Amino acid sequence: MIKLRKTVIILEEVSHEGGPPLAVPLLKGAIAAVIENPFAGRHEPEISWFMDELRPLAQKVSQKLLEAMGGEANRIQSYGKGAIVGSDGELEHGALWHAAGGYGMRDVLGGTKAIVPATKKVGSLGARLDVPLGHKDAAYVRSHFDSIDVGVSDGPRAREIVYILAMSTGPRVHHRSGGLSASDIIGEDGLK
């Protein structure tokens, strides 16, 4: 059912944000999977079944992104997801990625607790999306509130969807806005 046209991987290595350089640079990455939208051009009342169809894609691209970021799941500290739906689709087609993308990434990373932050929109060719990032074990870890800018130069075409997963190896560089520290995570409920 899934007709994948291409994947695009984006990697950022951040050494500093104006302050002293980090001993180990922050690595942020995203993978965009461009697929044909099976619901484009019409309103389909029941679409939730497509989430199950998307799960193998989510696992495949999660693994591919993790490998591009060094292959060590224990290095990943934060994650996020998003979707850009082409103009012949609707926002709800992007929402189908919520469960599939989140669980696919959790399966690959193993044992994560926090909800995977997400965003979506309907956009035209070359549209960009700021994909939110949050700590994988506790949503209230303020140092890990971040984002990564993602886009595909030739997508989404009108009858396509760009599904996105993102990961990061740490907090914002030079974070100093307080809040719950990653070292103080209790890890019981995915919040603190």
Dist CA 108 CA 162 (whole Å): 20
Instruction: Tell me the backbone φ, ψ of residue 49, rounded to 5 degrees.
Output: -60, -25
In one letter, which amino acid is 137? D
Give the pLDDT confidence of 40-75 residue by residue, as tens digits: 999 999 999 999 999 999 999 999 999 999 999 999
Domains and their CATH numbers in the chain: 4-13+25-164 (3.30.1330.110)
Q: Which residues pair with 50 in a beta bridge?
A: none
pLDDT band at 2; cut points 50, 70, 90: very high
**Which pTM does this prediction carry?**
0.95
Q: Is the pLDDT of residue 147 over 90?
A: yes
Q: What is the pLDDT of residue 182?
A: 82
Lowest mean pLDDT among 105-109, 172-176, 180-184: 180-184
Cβ–Cβ under 8 Å, residues 89 and 40: yes
In this prediction, residues 120-138 reach a mean pLDDT of 97
Instruction: Look at 8 and 179; give whichever has higher pLDDT.
Output: 8
Give strand ranges (E) for the chain. 4-14, 26-36, 78-85, 118-122, 128-135, 146-151, 160-168
Dist CA 101 CA 95 (whole Å): 10
Q: What is the pLDDT of residue 23?
A: 93
